[in-house]
Amino acid sequence: MAAKRPLLWRLIPLFWVLAIVLAAWLYVRTQVGDLYTVVSASMQPTLTRGDRVWVDYDPETLQRGDLVAFRDRASQTVVKRLVAVEHDEVLLDFDGDLWINGAAPEPPGPWVPLFDDRLLNLRDHFSFGGFYTNPWKVTPGYMELDARDVPFGSYAGLLRYRDPVDNSWLRPDGGWEKGQEMVGDARLRLEVWVEQNTGVLKLELTEQNDRFEVLIGLNQEGVGRVNYRHFEQGQQEPRTGHFAQCTIPLREWIPVVFQNRNNRVQLWMGEQAVIDETYDFNLPAALGSQGERVRFGGTGSWLRFRAVRIDRDLHYTSRGEYGVGRRLTVPPDSVFVLGDHSQESEDSRAFGPIERDRIVGKVRYRLWPKSTRGPL
């Protein structure tokens, strides 16, 4: 019977395995990327304090819109959104909008949630019905509108969002983070079910003194006749208009997206891009963008609605001196960074553009918490 080898000899393969694992770990951390913890609320709701994110060490491939980790003045690693690169001209206007080289950012930033009927009750946030009639019925899973007897132009057939479209945001648990400033740009998402070929589906968004209205005639089987109109509030004649048509199947849930962002109004019905209209400016209102700014419903129609979501654009508060209210050109080998949660963020508005050699890398992936794990 062969003698057993000494214990040390038997452990040598394990030592090699551990050495290889340690060398690989050190190589990844020094040459590829590393895990970092988000230390502030400045990127909410995109990232939340305590999130664990993976950062790639590849600052040369950075583009506008990327999330970046960099060393701040206290040598702490922080995360912001890169919005401009060297030689770009940056302007943050007093309406809270960001302009890069005189145009809206490309790619645009993320939409921020305000309302989600999976988390909030429609009754608590919308007005519906009229003084003498209420054609709406709350049914498990959807809202039903029998507006076949509702005359054209009546508000009774509209669900009207009561809450302000401001720089608040809706948390994943249904709670609110309250904001302080009105936001101009908004998006309405929903699914609609057309029960009969009759009447009109109506969608409305308002910003400042401008009202953007879509009327979709449902009288022809399988076809919706679309009338887009841009009104000045209180005026009967539209400033602009556009006609189109789209496919409207009966008794199927149709995803709808209607949005006004950076002076561009767009409508999608399912996969169909139906409206894409731009305008030069918003007509100012004395009190800014106030009142019921999102409405949808119909007249003379029989419809159902579900999956109602309302979002708002990123909004930048007018704090800081760099690029706020006046144009700033980003110097060579530098970038301009902003936090998505502008009222809580100290960013390039306060300390100016940052040098590229302070950038650790690009934030690629959120690993924790598990409920929001995924690419960024």
What does the pLDDT read at residue 241?
Answer: 86
Cα–chain center distance at 207? 17
Residue for token pair 């994110």: 53
Q: Are residues 80 and 166 in the same domain?
A: no
| Residue 12 in this model has a pLDDT that exceeds 70 | no
Question: What's the CATH code of the domain at 123?
Answer: 2.60.120.560
Looking at residue 67, its amino acid is L
Tokens standing for residue 184: 């101009």
Q: Are residues 118 and 192 in the same domain?
A: yes
Look at residues 295, 312, 329 and tell me which one is the last residue of a structural domain: 312
Q: Are residues 268 and 147 in the same domain?
A: yes
Q: Are residues 183 and 297 in the same domain?
A: yes
Q: Are residues 292 and 168 in the same domain?
A: yes
Q: Are residues 170 and 278 in the same domain?
A: yes
Q: How does DSSP classify residue 181?
A: S
What does the pLDDT read at residue 375?
Answer: 85
Q: What is the largest CA-CA distance in the chain?
A: 104
Looking at residue 310, its amino acid is I
pLDDT in tens, 95-126: 889 999 999 888 888 999 999 999 999 999 99
The answer as to whether 143 is a domain residue is yes
Distance linking the first and last C-alpha atoms of the chain: 61
Q: Return the number of other C-beta atoms located less than 10 Å from residue 108's C-beta.
A: 15
The answer as to whether 2 is a domain residue is no
Which range, of 6-20, 73-87, 196-210, averages the lowest pLDDT?
Answer: 6-20
Over residues 127-139, mean pLDDT: 84
Q: How does DSSP classify residue 32?
A: I
Burial class (CB in 10 A: 0-12, 13-18, 19+), 234: exposed
Q: Are residues 51 and 148 in the same domain?
A: no
Quick one: which H or E segment has residue 8? helix 7-27
What does the pLDDT read at residue 85?
Answer: 94
Q: Which domain holds residue 44?
A: 33-108+316-375
| Residue 3 in this model has a pLDDT that exceeds 60 | no
- Strand 302-312 vs strand 142-146: parallel, antiparallel, or unpaired? antiparallel
Q: Return the number of other C-beta atoms located less than 10 Å from residue 336's C-beta.
A: 29
Question: How long a stretch of residues is the chain?
Answer: 376
The answer as to whether 19 is a domain residue is no
The answer as to whether 217 is a domain residue is yes
pLDDT in tens, 167-177: 999 988 888 88
Look at residues 266, 289, 312 and tell me which one is the last residue of a structural domain: 312
The answer as to whether 194 is a domain residue is yes
Tokens standing for residue 214: 């879509």
Spatial separation of the C-alpha atoms in residues 96 and 112, rounded to whole Å: 14
| Residue 41 in this model has a pLDDT that exceeds 50 | yes
The answer as to whether 14 is a domain residue is no
Rounded percentage of the chain residues whose pLDDT exceeds 70: 89
Mean pLDDT of the chain: 87
Over residues 266-276, mean pLDDT: 95
Q: How does DSSP classify residue 126?
A: E
The answer as to whether 212 is a domain residue is yes
Burial class (CB in 10 A: 0-12, 13-18, 19+), 249: middle
Q: How does DSSP classify residue 165?
A: -
Are the beta carbons of 59 and 290 closer than 8 angstroms?
no
Look at residues 268, 292, 312 and tell me which one is the last residue of a structural domain: 312
Are the beta carbons of 333 and 355 closer than 8 angstroms?
yes
The answer as to whether 22 is a domain residue is no
Q: Are residues 136 and 161 in the same domain?
A: yes
Over residues 293-301, mean pLDDT: 94
Looking at residue 103, its amino acid is A
Residue 28: pLDDT band (50, 70, 90) is very low
Q: Are residues 184 and 256 in the same domain?
A: yes
Count structural domains, the chain: 2
Which range, of 152-156, 242-246, 258-262, 343-347, averages the lowest pLDDT?
Answer: 152-156
| Residue 27 in this model has a pLDDT that exceeds 50 | no
Quick one: which H or E segment has residue 221? none
Q: Are residues 188 and 247 in the same domain?
A: yes
Q: Are residues 93 and 182 in the same domain?
A: no
Quick one: which H or E segment has residue 348? helix 348-351
Residue 305: pLDDT band (50, 70, 90) is very high
Q: Are residues 99 and 130 in the same domain?
A: no
Spatial separation of the C-alpha atoms in residues 299 and 92, rounded to whole Å: 41
Rounded percentage of the chain residues whose pLDDT exceeds 90: 53
Question: What's the CATH code of the domain at 341?
Answer: 2.10.109.10
Over residues 135-158, mean pLDDT: 89
What does the pLDDT read at residue 344?
Answer: 87
